[in-house]
Structure 1
Amino acid sequence: MALPSRPPRSILKRRSSISTAAQGLFDAAAVMGLAYYLIRLHVGALNADYMVLLLLLLGGMAVAYDQFGLYRSNSNRTRKAINLFKAWTLVFAFLLLVGFATKQTDVYSRLMVGKLYVLGFFAQIVLHMGFRELQVRFMRRAVEPDNVLIVGTGRLARYLQNKISNNPWLGQRVMGCLALPQGEPRLRDDAMNRMQEPSDFGSLQESSVIGPFEEMLEIIDQYDIDTVYFAIPLDASDLIEGMYFNLLDKHVAVHWVPDIYSMLLVNHSVREIAGLPVLTLSETPLTGTRRLFKACEDFLLSALILLAVSPLLLIIAVAIKLDSPGPVFFKQARNGWSGKTFSIWKFRSMYVHTTDGGVVKQASRNDPRVTRVGSILRRTSLDELPQLINVLRGEMSLVGPRPHAVQHDMEYSQRINSYFARHNIKPGITGLAQVRGLRGETTDIEQMQQRVEADIEYINNWSLWLDFTVLLRTLGALTGRNAY
């Protein structure tokens, strides 16, 4: 059958549009009402300055809440509260940044803004929890749950079963699972599974197998099934094609949950192109507005930091010149975003020397090549400060995978599967691996593997909030046993 030249409608849907819209309106109304009360209490009247503040607050909420999927996900209460806290905090960090950039922070009452941050968060928590409770009670009393059949017995099928069973507001009840004809392929090695499977695959109960795949039609009639989920590996997808037209005659809803977690996934997603479904397995997270937000974050923060530490940079430069002959800065070719090569800037921390046969040797503990000033710079990570120039030039980011020497990239790519996947985002001055202590000389391949895992975890979970937390943790990780 030929593909239609123009699909009749979008293939992607957002469910529960009325309830999510209502929740968003309640949040906005609560925050605006609370803000108006606090302004009247502490300021006296709503003036033009505070009108701008409220408009920026609403705009920030719209963007941040969408980024964290607060109105799209069916996460549990704890996860919902954590995501709400992150999004709400990010909104106020944005307001603070705008205030500093425009030199308007003195215009606003700090007490009023502080109360709005604290009380606004708790007000929204109460609204979200209350709204969720109303949804659950409504689904239990007013709507008969659909009977669900899951095709598959692997970890993805069990994960889906647990999610449906633990989320009563979905209005579904799992009757059981069907075993595939010839079993399901095993996932890849344990290290890869830790990187790619959903974080709560963890301890799953065994699937409730109620029959074999060959008896699906009879089981649908026996259990009065309303919805069928195919949670099967990609190489078993022909089972869907063979059964789908028979299922159409059974008047059941059919969903496919492809098991893509056996592959190395980098910022995976589902989208559409001209109405056609597209399952993205590997892509940079910096697309569209996300790329703009990341660029603004890098430019504004790096400019402010560079301005603040400029006297320190001058002192370090003089110390390097007095300590040993040679240039102040050290430049070296590194691979950046999408594998593009750039010159990284550092303060020179070693005596000027030539490489042995062109081979770049990593710095090690008590390395004789390191100067007296250089040893201090390396222990405190101050030698990395000139990379702020790389950030301003758009070659690096404040947060991202640390760029390695080109030679080391080539060596490790031969020994670590999908090593270059870490180049799906801009390299950073600091990163998730660094704040976890995965820095310094790598004496065995397992240490570099851990770095790569942390880098891909960062790419898969990138957000402005994650950058913010990494930057805060970096302050405590500037020195340590692996800094030399």
Structure 2
Amino acid sequence: MFAWSARCLDVSLIVAGGLIAHSMRFATLDISDIERLLTAFNCVLALLLFPAFGVYDTWRGKPLPVMLARVTLAWMAVVAAALLLAFTLHRMDSVSRLWFAYSTVITGALIIGIKCAVYSSLRAMRGRGLNQRSVAIVGAQGFARTLLAHLSSTPEQGFTPVCLLDTTGDEELHATGVRHAPTSAIGTGGSRLPVLNDFDELVAKVRAEEINEVWLALPLSQEHTIYRFVHALRHDFVNLRLIPDTRSISLFNHSMTDVAGLATINLTTSPVNTLRMWPKLLFDRLFAATALLALSPLLVGIAIAVKSTSKGPVFFTQKRKGADGRPFPIYKFRSMAVHKETTGHVTQATRNDPRVTKVGAFLRRTSLDELPQFLNVLFGHMSVVGPRPHALEHDDLYKDLVYGYMFRYRIKPGITGWAQVNGYRGATEKVEKMQSRVKFDLFYIHNWSFWFDVKIVAMTMFKGFIGRNAF
């Protein structure tokens, strides 16, 4: 019923868009035959093409930008077909191009606007506990708690968990007919969720209470259990979904993608797609260019101070890893006296390090030695915000000691980062300290957004330059 209502509404909006465009172009509602024909053709094509683009699929639990992109593409396909019809009938000279443009834009705006309003209204209703779909979860309590926490924090998605079948210690759920002592309940968003331990009991509950969805939060190795649910519920009108528990072989939540026409689960891939990164790339270049221009007098003054107080070059350069492990030379103002390191070994600076010059000590304490890295940002080696790159020798040391260490290099390293503004900067004398730093870096990568970057930059301005660990 809802899908047919949506179709009727879209047809009404196409007609309304054509009438509004005509009144704007000719100040009258007396539309011509060719305009009637094109409007009617658009209505028919919308009814045929919109379903093919998934416009009338359920939007529950799906991101709004993706669904609006489908709507936009579907409407563009309708408009292109209308243009083709006009050319085929040799009636393009009879069509007002301005009316056609107005009609295309106004109708598209009406359709997108109404769908945004409906989407927002439904989310608001679901956030208040209305229009929910009941969900039974199957899986070990550890992973189930993660799913429950997510559902509890996003009630606007419209999924309400009603029970859990705990597979802990009974991963294959063998049909032995033996019932286990039930666990009473599991916490979820302030309420208690009943926990079952018997396969047949869950199936009976799904049928008796007409539960809408069953989510199998199981490892991929439990093929037998997955098949049992598919077989047992094959005659029931319930949505059976698999949410693979791949925590043991992956760093992050995983996404589905299409590779060579095959459905694929990403385990360790670049966490943010190129399209989403465009705001970050643009921000990096503009911010770096502005910073270099505004700070140029300070940069020149620091360069003179470094050169005049100690022998050696103004800049210190060292190879570091960039995005996907590509090496690049990082630039800093030299803060130490020129010295030689043992091949394959880098000695980290320590408090009261005799190698640090007097000017260098001030630069390191205030992080002014890092300013030349805006050149790295401008050249595309680094980002303003991201995990700090470490010396190659440290990469070789920690990659086998700290889980997820090398995943930090899936994105560009940064001048500042989430770890730095939370106090994790300077030397890392202990593995535990590096583990904590990496934990913050991975949290940043997993939760990245443009506004998260802005927040980190703002925090850096207030407390990120000077710290007790900077020496």
Query: Secondary structure at 2:221's aligned position in 1?
Result: helix
Q: 1:156 aligned to 2:146?
A: no
Letter of the structure 1 residue corresponding to residue 350 of structure 2 = S
Q: 1:248 aligned to 2:238?
A: no
1:131 alignment partner in structure 2: 121
Residue 459 of structure 1 deviates from its aligned partner by 1.1
For 1:138 and 1:456, locate their aligned partners in 2 and report how far apart those are by CA, in whole Å.
33
Using the TM superposition, name which of 230-239 and 156-165 deviates more: 156-165
For 1:138 and 1:320, locate their aligned partners in 2 and report how far apart those are by CA, in whole Å.
62
Normalising by the residue count of structure 2, what TM-score does the alignment of the two structures yield?
0.66
2:464 alignment partner in structure 1: 477
1:309 alignment partner in structure 2: 295
Instruction: Give the counterpart of 1:177 among 142, 149, 164.
Output: 164
For 1:259 and 1:460, locate their aligned partners in 2 and report how far apart those are by CA, in whole Å.
17
The answer (yes or no) to whether the contact 1:154–1:184 under 8 Å persists in 2 is no
Q: 1:468 aligned to 2:454?
A: yes
For 1:31-52, what per-residue CA distance to the aligned partner results, in whole angstroms no more than 9, with x for missing partners?
A: xxxxxxxxxxxxxxxxxxxxxx
Gaps of 5+ in 1: 1-14, 26-70, 76-126, 186-200
Residue 228 of structure 1 deviates from its aligned partner by 1.8
For 1:202 and 1:171, locate their aligned partners in 2 and report how far apart those are by CA, in whole Å.
15
The structure number with the bigger radius of gyration is 2
For 1:207 and 1:129, locate their aligned partners in 2 and report how far apart those are by CA, in whole Å.
29
Query: Secondary structure at 1:281's aligned position in 2?
Result: coil
Residue 312 of structure 1 deviates from its aligned partner by 0.6
For 2:321 and 2:210, locate their aligned partners in 1 and report how far apart those are by CA, in whole Å.
58
CA change 1:207–1:258 in 2 (3 A) is farther
1:338 alignment partner in structure 2: 324
Gaps of 5+ in 2: 14-58, 64-116, 173-186
2:366 alignment partner in structure 1: 380
For 1:185-226, what per-residue CA distance to the aligned partner results, in whole angstroms no more than 9, with x for missing partners?
A: 9xxxxxxxxxxxxxxx99886641245014444443343444
CA change 1:137–1:395 in 2 (3 A) is closer
1:294 alignment partner in structure 2: 280
CA change 1:160–1:462 in 2 (3 A) is closer
Letter of the structure 2 residue corresponding to residue 234 of structure 1 = L
- What is the 5 A alignment of 1:354-365? 354-356=340-342, 358-365=344-351
Instruction: Give the counterpart of 2:222 among 236, 249, 253.
Output: 236
Residue 170 of structure 1 deviates from its aligned partner by 5.8
Query: Secondary structure at 1:433's aligned position in 2?
Result: helix
The answer (yes or no) to whether the contact 1:151–1:230 under 8 Å persists in 2 is yes
Q: 1:321 aligned to 2:321?
A: no
1:87 alignment partner in structure 2: none
Q: How many residues align?
A: 353
Query: Secondary structure at 1:300's aligned position in 2?
Result: helix
CA change 1:438–1:333 in 2 (3 A) is same
For 1:137 and 1:203, locate their aligned partners in 2 and report how far apart those are by CA, in whole Å.
13
Residue 261 of structure 1 deviates from its aligned partner by 3.6
Q: 1:221 aligned to 2:210?
A: no
For 1:262 and 1:344, locate their aligned partners in 2 and report how far apart those are by CA, in whole Å.
35
Query: Secondary structure at 2:292's aligned position in 1?
Result: helix
Letter of the structure 1 residue corresponding to residue 312 of structure 2 = G
CA change 1:355–1:139 in 2 (3 A) is closer
The answer (yes or no) to whether the contact 1:150–1:174 under 8 Å persists in 2 is yes
CA change 1:308–1:255 in 2 (3 A) is same
2:440 alignment partner in structure 1: 454
Relative CO higher for 1 or 2, CA cutoff 8 Å, sep ≥ 6?
1
For 2:425 and 2:246, locate their aligned partners in 1 and report how far apart those are by CA, in whole Å.
31
For 1:45-104, what per-residue CA distance to the aligned partner results, in whole angstroms no more than 9, with x for missing partners?
A: xxxxxxxxxxxxxxxxxxxxxxxxxx97699xxxxxxxxxxxxxxxxxxxxxxxxxxxxx
1:414 alignment partner in structure 2: 400
Give the fraction of aligned pairs with identical amino acids, expressed as a percent.
Answer: 42
1:285 alignment partner in structure 2: 271
For 2:315 and 2:127, locate their aligned partners in 1 and report how far apart those are by CA, in whole Å.
65
Letter of the structure 1 residue corresponding to residue 416 of structure 2 = T
Using the TM superposition, name which of 274-283 and 414-423 deviates more: 274-283
The answer (yes or no) to whether the contact 2:404–2:438 under 8 Å persists in 1 is no
The answer (yes or no) to whether the contact 1:180–1:213 under 8 Å persists in 2 is no
Q: 1:268 aligned to 2:250?
A: no
Letter of the structure 2 residue corresponding to residue 231 of structure 1 = A
The alignment's C-alpha RMSD in Å is 3.7
Query: Secondary structure at 2:214's aligned position in 1?
Result: strand
The answer (yes or no) to whether the contact 1:152–1:178 under 8 Å persists in 2 is yes
Residue 132 of structure 1 deviates from its aligned partner by 5.7
CA change 1:371–1:236 in 2 (3 A) is same
CA change 1:275–1:357 in 2 (3 A) is closer
Residue 161 of structure 1 deviates from its aligned partner by 4.9
CA change 1:310–1:254 in 2 (3 A) is same
1:189 alignment partner in structure 2: none
2:93 alignment partner in structure 1: none
Residue 239 of structure 1 deviates from its aligned partner by 1.0
For 1:253-309, what per-residue CA distance to the aligned partner results, in whole angstroms no more than 9, with x for missing partners?
A: 212222234444247323334664322222223432223332211111100100000
Using the TM superposition, name which of 425-434 and 287-296 deviates more: 287-296
Letter of the structure 2 residue corresponding to residue 471 of structure 1 = V
Q: 1:398 aligned to 2:376?
A: no
Letter of the structure 2 residue corresponding to residue 470 of structure 1 = I
For 1:479 and 1:151, locate their aligned partners in 2 and report how far apart those are by CA, in whole Å.
49
Residue 230 of structure 1 deviates from its aligned partner by 1.4
